[in-house]
Amino acid sequence: MAKLCIALDTNLPKATELVDALRGYPLVFKVGYKLFIGYHRAITDRIKERGFELFLDLKLHDIPNTVREGVLCAKDLGADYVTVHISAGREALRQAVEVRGRTKLLGVSLLTSLGEEDLAELGLCRGKDEHILRLAKLALEMGLEGIVCSGQEVRLLKEELQKNFLAVVPGVRLEGDPSEDQKRVVSLEEALQAGADLVVMGRSVLRAENPVKKVEDILLKIA
Ligand code: C5P
């Protein structure tokens, strides 16, 4: 069964309130720039102390030695997952794998906020699917545990790669929610049908009048 990951893209009081209120539910909490840069262990320790899995979404993208150090620090914080941009290249991925320990490495393929037109503008002339497939192949060859992609690509990757990996899917929207800055969005049902293993949801939950109830509803749909 797919797991639900809540992206805590909010301030510290709201994040800690939500983590405390959801104690006991089978959830992963994702910490990104906003909370990590501002509050670091105040939020990562809280997530671990409450018994949840910790997803550090730092999207490491640097020279191999710097990526290696980043992964080592994420491991020390007890991160269960950490993201690395696959486009950091083979050697950065190799060094990340070498030091990851029990922390699962998730390779970011193409951000879900980018579409075909962005690829062209960036000078990446292959089509979106071909680009993502190439990156995913490299990540799995190097031993990463998962690939971050949109729900639109999960089926293709699972069929083409024929490998066991965690398909991590952000850009998921509930009916009526705006896509905002995300371009490659799918509905929760589409993400699940496509084979997502970890469904990442941020604003759809955080902006709900009752986020706890919203999470309960989503968990029911996943089950
Ligand atoms: O609010 P929303 O549900 O769009 O949040 C999606 C989360 O997933 C954000 O925290 C964003 O940083 C993250 N993410 C993403 N696309 C990726 C990788 C991570 O949207 N490719």
Atom of ligand 1 nearest to the CA of 182: 4
Select from 36, 112, 147, 181 the residue to mutate for testing ligand 1; criterion: most ligand atoms less than 8 Å from CB. 112
Instruction: Say whether pLDDT at 155 is over 90.
Output: yes
Distance 91 CA to ligand 1 centre (A): 26
Distance CA 164, CA 193 (A): 17
CA of 134 to the centre of ligand 1 (A): 21
Q: How far does residue 50's CA lie from ligand 1's centre (Å)? A: 23
pTM of this structure: 0.96
CATH of the domain at 104: 3.20.20.70
Using CB distances shorter than 6 Å, the residues near ligand 1 are 7, 9, 32, 57, 108, 111-112, 148, 170-171, 182, 200-204
Query: Residue 186 belongs to what H/E stretch?
Result: strand 186-187
Q: Which residues are catalytic?
A: 59
How far away, in angstroms, is 133 Cα from ligand 1 center? 20
Is the model's pLDDT at 162 over the cut of 90?
no
* Reported confidence tier of residue 124, pLDDT bands at 50, 70, 90: confident
Could you give the percent of the chain with pLDDT greater than 70? Answer: 100
Q: Ligand 1: which residue has its CA nearest to atom 4? A: 171
Helix (H) or strand (E) holding 6: strand 3-7
Task: Give yes or no for residue 114 having a pLDDT over 90.
Answer: yes
Taking a C-beta distance cutoff of 8 angstroms, is the pair 101, 79 a contact?
no
Ranking 2-6, 21-25, 75-79, 125-129 by mean pLDDT, the lowest is: 125-129
Q: Provide the angle, in degrees to the nearest 10, between the axes of the packed helices 154-161 and 128-141.
A: 50
Domain count, the chain: 1
Q: Which domain holds residue 77?
A: 3-222
